[in-house]
Structure 1
């Protein structure tokens, strides 16, 4: 039976996402509490989490400054600052570690969900091609001359613009139509045979005029366009 799970699930994940967040914070006594948030910000693409990481880093710097209170040659605190700042640093550290760990416990679940939602490369590539087809269609609808200059829908010609796999049903040869629309060459030949000098005004007109197998209609609608002949 075919395994339909994603490659990540099929391999099995020995360690859950973000498993190291809490151990890192505890083992470094909170000094690296900012690092898990920066990692999560990169994984999730979150600007807000970058600011959270910066905030934890700033708190850590402030606590280190407080811990370095002035002392005399014998190591005794100097003045009020020498008495108060170490207390602030100690209390801050006692609060920082549990607060950061609680925050990271929730955050690691978000990271796990975010990773699972990352599309596989093949899916991402197909979705990107779909977006390029939508963009190319808008160009063809609003500026047919530009579309012709970019050779949108003409995979049989040399070009530099990527239209996502469109084919112009009014000008492309049967071989290109068959390849782009993934239909039999005879069906593509029928499309070429049935188009008149003025071409098809729309894909729907083509489906009515030319004898095309019904299962191929969706593929033709997805990849075909009809630039003015």
Structure 2
């Protein structure tokens, strides 16, 4: 089992954007390892969770999970299909916690001209409270770096954030459209603006999405994102 000391080491060991995104934790008290082609990144605080992000061949992942996967409030995270193969390999039982979606894309995307990065965030929190009260990103939260907005007149009607980006994976969170302005394509345009900006900066853009949120997944697919089921495994006892 080989220790990976830097984000560059993780990038050399894996092409998976999921673990490359998690590698940002190595500059904030995290750790990473490689074993038989698999990679695990321990992120003490990433999108509000203490995570162990894993990817690679099942046997290597199982060894890494057995060695580093237990701890108070630790959430081992991996692709759901991989988890179904890894779980039977574990010496003690593990169970699936909560599946959700990871989506990412590379390349370039046209930048809409009706959205912009916001210089004032005064209107963002009221919009989130109305349109997306369960948002995982909020103004002023650690790791949330900037917010984009789209206005109709003087009213902020759509927003999305860059949050928890790594060295080569930009991350989008906090998407919200005011309920009185839905079905007008505003969600797609604000997401296109943020995605285009992050692709220019990082070369890759990614996001989390609830796996049951079919309308959001459809919007992201139209913007070129590919969907992967991911999940967390927790000790059964």
Range into which the TM-score falls when normalised by the shorter chain = under 0.3
TM-score, normalisation: structure 1: 0.22
More strand by share: 2
Larger Rg over CA atoms: 1
More helix by share: 1
TM-score, normalisation: structure 2: 0.21
